[in-house]
Every structure is written in structure tokens, then in C-alpha cells.
Amino acid sequence: MNDTAPEIDERFRAMLMVRTGEERLIMGCAMRDSARMIRRRRCRRFAKVSFSAFTGMSSMPTPAPKSSLP
């Protein structure tokens, strides 16, 4: 699904293409790292809930995930 107006798409692409190839690569790597971090946190949270439900311990509170951010 694409709900972005074609003019905005063109403007965004032009803004990206002004950057060097190295800058675009760094941006892409940063986005990938962010997505992996989000996915890992979601998987850990899901695993804790699933495991506690499977073992019949769903009434016990689960500890908050530890943040690796400062």
C-alpha cells in the first residue's frame, strides 16, 4: 500500500540522492540495527509471556525488560 503523493515521493528521493553513497549506506545500516533491536525486544517479551502461560505461571508478574540504552 502506498498512500504517499507522487510529488512527495519524488521530493524524498531527491533529498536522499543528494547524499553520498556512503551516507546512504550508513543510514540503511542504522535503520537495520534499529529494526533488529526492536525485533529482539519484542521476541524476548513474547517468549516470557508464552513461557509463563505454558508453564501455568501466568499469574506471576514478568520483570520489565532491561534497556541497553543509557
Per-residue pLDDT reduced to its tens digit, 14-62: 999 999 999 999 999 999 999 999 998 888 777 776 655 555 555 555 5
**pLDDT for 2:** 85
**pLDDT for 42:** 86
Torsion angles phi and psi, residue 9, rounded to 5? -55, -45
| 69 pLDDT above the threshold of 80 | no
Tell me the pTM. Answer: 0.52
Give 28's Cβ-side CA count (13 Å radius).
Answer: 8
C-alpha cell at 26: 550508513
